[in-house]
C-alpha cells in the first residue's frame, strides 16, 4: 500500500553527473542529479577567468586567467568528491584549442580536476550546442548560435536534426584583444569574418536560438526595457527588429555607461558591447524573424547526447511534470488516473478544439495537481502558481507556463486571487485563460471524488454533450457522491458554459 508520508525521493548522487566547461571566458561546474530526459541541476558555479583574453594577439592563454582557472578546477574537484559525483565530464573550447600553451594547461588542469578533459573542435561545439537546444526545444526550427568568449558557432536545426555548422572567430574576448578595445575596429573584424564565412543556412530561418551568457544579458536588458513580467530567460523571444535595435544601442555604449543598467551581470559589462556587435551582424546575415533565448547549450547537449533514441523522444515537459508528481504528490499513480478521468473534455465539447500543445499542458497539470498538498490550504493556489511560473523546466514557452500554473492553481481554489501575478497572467489570452481554469476545475472535481487517493476516481466518467456535462457514476461507488462533488461539478459546468447532471450508471 503506498504511503502519503514519503514527501520526496532523495536523489542518489552516485548517479549524478558533473559537467566542467572550460570556456574562453568562464570556467563552470554544473552538477545534475542524473542524466535523464529532464536533467535537474543541483549545483551551478562559474568563475569568469578570461583564459582567452590574450590568445588573439599572443597565441597563448592569459597567465592570470590560467591561475584563476586552475584554482576553480581544484575547488570543483573537491566539490564533486564531497557530493559523491563519480561521473564527471570535462570539456574545453576555443581558447584552449587554439593556444600554443593549451596542452600545458590541459596537463595541469587534468591533474587538478582529476578527470580527462576533452578539447572540443568548432564542429563539436556547434553539435553540442544544437543538442542542448533540442533538449529544451524538441520542435526547434531555425538556427542555433552559441557565442563564447573566443568564437561563435552557427548551425541549422529542424525536425530534431542539425546540420554541419560553422565556427567564426568573433568571440567578445577575442575581439577586445585583436581590436585593442576599439569597438570600431572590432566591428570591421566581425564584418570581415562573416564575409569570409563558407556556410549558408539550408533554408530561410524561422527562429534564431541564442545561446551564451552575453546574449542572455542582452535579453535581460530587453526584459527590463519592456517591463516584462516573467523574468525567465528560457524561451524568452524578441522580434528581430527589437533585438537588432538593442544590439546597436549596447554596441555604442561603454562599460562605464552600462553600469547604470539594472539586471545585467557586472562581470559582463566589458564584453557586452562586443557581443552586441556579433548579435547584430548575425541577425542581419541569417534573416530569422525572431530571437529565442536558450538557457540550454553545450553542457546540456553533452547530457542529451548520452540518451538513447527512445529517451530523446520523451517529452521534456511531461518528464519533468511526472518527476515532480512522484516527488511531491501523495500517490504518483493518481496523475494518470486523472488524465483518463478528464480526457473526455478534450474529445467533445468546449475544449475539443485544443491543439497538441494544450493537450500536453493538460497532461502535465494532471501530474502536478497534488504538488501542494502539504502547504497550508489558504496558500496552496498561490504557491503552485508561483512554483510553476518560476520552475526550471523546458519544452514550454512563457504563455504555456501561465496556462499550466493557472490550471493547477484552480485545482486548489476556484476563482483564485492572483495578487502579485496579475501582470504575468496577461501573457495568456482570455480564451486560453478560461480553458486553463476549466482544466483546473476538472482536476478539482477529480480530487474531490477521490480525496486524492488512487483508484477511487476509476470508473467515474465525464460525458460532455451540447449544453450538458454529465458525471457518470458506477453504482458500486455511488456512496462517494455528496454535496461537495455536486458543487465541484457545477463549478466545472459553469466554466464550460453548460448545465450539470449526475447519472448513476454501469454502462
Q: How confident is the model at residue 485 (pLDDT cuts 50, 70, 90)?
A: very high
pLDDT at 7: 41
Distances (CA, A) of 459 to 450, 487, 506: 11, 20, 9
Q: Are residues 219 and 104 in the same domain?
A: no
CA 90 to chain centre: 22
> Quick check: is 493 in a domain?
no
| pLDDT, tens only, 439-456 | 999 999 999 999 888 899
Domain end residue (candidates: 456, 478, 496): 456
Domain for residue 7, yes or no?
Answer: no
Name the band, by pLDDT with cuts 50, 70 and 90, for residue 414: low
Q: Do 277 and 153 fall within a single domain?
A: yes
In a domain, 382, yes or no: yes
CATH code assigned at 391: 1.10.3210.10
Cell digits of residue 59: 597565441
Quick one: 163 and 104 in the same domain? Answer: no
Could you give the CA distance from residue 464 to residue 321 in angstroms, rounded to a whole number? 27
> Do 389 and 296 share a domain, yes or no?
no
Question: Residue 321: what pLDDT?
Answer: 95
Query: Which of 301, 323, 341 is where one domain is finished?
Result: 301
> Within this chain, do residues 229 and 333 fall inside the same structural domain, yes or no?
no
Q: What long-range pairs does 106-109 form, CB within 8 A, spacing at least 24? A: 108/70, 109/22, 109/69, 109/70, 109/73
Do 110 and 252 lie in one domain? The reply is no
On whether both 390 and 432 belong to a single domain, the answer is yes
Query: Which long-range contacts (C-beta less than 8 Å, at least 24 apart) are formed by 200-203?
Result: 201/143, 201/156, 201/286, 202/156, 202/158, 202/163, 203/156, 203/158
Residue-averaged pLDDT of the chain: 91
Is residue 498 in a domain?
no
Q: Is the pLDDT of residue 5 over 60?
A: no
The answer to whether 222 and 241 are in contact (CB under 8 A) is: no
Would you state the pLDDT for residue 416?
56
Residue 60 maps to which CATH number?
A: 3.30.420.40
Residue 418 scores a pLDDT above 60: no
Q: Which structural domain, as residue segments, surrounds residue 259?
A: 123-301
**Shared-domain flag, residues 391 and 378:** yes
CATH code of residue 179: 3.30.420.150
Residue 420 confidence class, pLDDT cut points 50, 70, 90: low
Residues 85, 159 share a domain: no
Over 50: is that where the pLDDT of 2 sits? no
Both 164 and 294 in one domain: the answer is: yes
Task: Tell me the per-residue pLDDT of 152-204, one tens digit each, with 9 for 90 and over.
Answer: 999 999 988 998 889 999 999 999 999 999 999 999 999 999 999 988 877 77
Q: For residue 472, tell me if it sits in a domain.
A: no
Residue 464 lies in a domain: no
Which of 439, 456, 473 terminates a domain? The answer is: 456
| CB-based burial, 102-129: b 16+ in 10 Å, e otherwise | beebbeebeebbebebebbebebbbbbb
Tally of CB atoms within 10 A around 471: 22
Q: So what's the pLDDT on residue 205?
A: 81
Note the pLDDT of residue 33: 85
pLDDT surpassing 90 at residue 253: no
**What pLDDT, on the 0 to 100 scale, is given for residue 177?**
95
User: Same domain for 51 and 92?
Assistant: yes
CB atoms within 10 A of CB 497: 12
pLDDT tens-digit readout, 114-159: 899 999 999 999 999 999 999 999 999 999 999 999 999 999 999 8
Structural domains in the chain (count) = 3
For residues 341 and 222, membership in a common domain is answered with: no
The backbone torsions φ and ψ at residue 288, rounded to the nearest 5 degrees and listed phi first, read: -65, 150
Angle between helices 183-195 and 172-179 (to 10 degrees): 120
Map residue 469 onto helix, strand or coil.
Answer: strand
The string of pLDDT tens digits covering residues 47-84 is 999 999 999 999 999 999 999 999 999 999 999 999 99
- Pairing of β 207-211 and β 237-239: unpaired
For residue 349, what pLDDT is reported?
75
Give the model's confidence band at 6: pLDDT under 50 very low, under 70 low, under 90 confident, else very high: very low
Does residue 466 register a pLDDT over 50?
A: yes
Does 481 fall in a domain?
Answer: no
Amino acid at each position: 500500500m503506498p504511503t502519503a508520508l514519503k514527501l520526496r525521493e532523495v536523489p542518489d548522487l552516485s548517479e549524478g553527473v558533473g559537467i566542467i566547461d572550460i570556456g574562453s571566458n568562464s570556467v563552470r561546474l554544473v552538477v545534475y542529479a542524473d542524466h535523464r530526459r529532464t536533467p535537474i541541476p543541483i549545483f551551478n558555479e562559474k568563475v569568469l577567468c578570461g583564459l582567452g583574453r590574450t590568445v588573439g594577439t599572443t597565441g597563448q592563454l592569459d597567465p592570470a586567467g590560467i591561475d584563476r582557472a586552475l584554482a576553480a578546477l581544484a575547488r570543483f574537484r573537491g566539490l564533486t568528491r564531497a557530493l559523491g559525483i563519480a561521473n564527471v565530464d570535462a570539456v574545453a573550447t576555443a581558447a584552449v584549442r587554439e593556444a600554443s600553451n593549451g596542452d600545458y594547461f590541459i596537463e595541469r588542469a587534468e591533474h587538478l580536476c582529476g578527470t580527462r578533459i576533452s578539447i572540443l573542435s568548432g564542429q563539436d561545439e556547434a553539435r553540442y550546442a544544437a543538442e542542448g537546444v533540442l533538449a529544451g526545444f524538441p520542435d526547434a526550427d531555425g538556427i542555433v548560435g552559441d557565442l563564447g568568449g573566443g568564437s561563435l558557432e552557427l548551425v541549422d536545426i529542424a525536425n530534431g536534426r542539425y546540420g554541419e555548422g560553422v565556427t567564426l572567430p568573433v568571440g567578445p574576448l577575442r575581439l577586445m584583444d585583436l581590436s585593442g578595445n576599439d569597438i570600431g575596429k572590432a566591428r570591421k573584424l566581425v564584418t570581415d569574418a562573416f564575409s569570409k564565412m563558407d556556410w549558408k543556412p539550408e533554408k530561410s530561418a524561422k527562429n534564431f536560438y541564442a545561446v551564451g551568457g552575453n546574449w542572455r544579458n542582452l535579453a535581460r536588458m530587453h526584459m527590463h526595457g519592456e517591463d516584462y513580467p516573467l523574468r525567465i530567460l528560457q524561451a524568452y523571444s524578441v522580434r528581430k527588429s527589437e533585438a537588432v535595435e538593442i544590439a546597436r544601442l549596447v554596441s555604442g555604449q561603454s562599460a562605464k555607461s552600462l553600469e547604470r543598467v539594472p539586471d545585467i551581470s557586472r562581470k559582463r559589462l566589458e564584453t557586452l558591447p562586443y557581443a552586441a556587435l556579433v548579435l547584430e551582424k548575425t541577425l542581419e546575415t541569417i534573416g530569422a524573424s525572431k530571437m529565442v533565448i536558450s538557457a540550454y547549450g553545450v553542457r546540456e547537449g553533452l547530457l542529451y547526447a548520452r540518451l538513447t533514441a527512445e529517451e530523446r523522444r520523451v517529452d521534456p515537459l511531461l518528464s519533468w511534470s511526472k518527476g515532480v508528481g512522484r516527488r511531491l504528490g501523495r500517490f504518483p499513480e493518481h496523475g494518470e488516473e486523472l488524465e483518463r478521468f478528464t480526457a473526455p473534455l478534450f474529445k467533445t465539447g468546449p475544449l475539443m478544439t485544443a491543439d497538441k500543445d494544450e493537450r500536453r499542458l493538460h497532461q502535465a497539470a494532471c501530474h502536478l495537481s497534488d504538488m501542494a498538498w502539504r502547504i497550508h490550504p489558504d496558500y496552496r493556489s498561490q504557491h503552485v502558481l508561483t512554483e510553476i511560473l518560476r520552475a526550471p523546466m523546458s519544452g514550454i514557452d512563457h504563455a504555456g507556463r501561465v496556462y499550466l500554473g493557472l490550471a493547477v492553481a484552480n485545482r486548489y481554489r476556484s476563482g483564485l486571487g492572483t495578487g502579485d501575478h496579475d501582470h504575468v497572467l496577461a501573457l495568456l489570452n482570455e480564451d486560453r485563460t478560461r480553458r486553463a481554469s476549466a482544466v483546473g476545475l476538472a482536476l478539482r472535481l477529480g480530487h474531490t471524488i477521490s480525496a486524492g487517493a488512487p483508484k477511487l476516481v476509476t470508473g467515474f466518467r465525464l460525458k460532455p454533450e451540447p449544453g450538458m456535462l454529465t458525471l457518470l457514476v458506477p453504482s458500486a461507488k455511488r456512496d462517494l457522491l455528496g454535496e461537495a462533488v455536486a458543487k465541484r461539478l457545477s463549478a466545472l459546468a459553469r466554466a464550460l458554459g453548460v448545465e450539470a447532471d449526475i447519472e448513476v450508471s454501469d454502462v
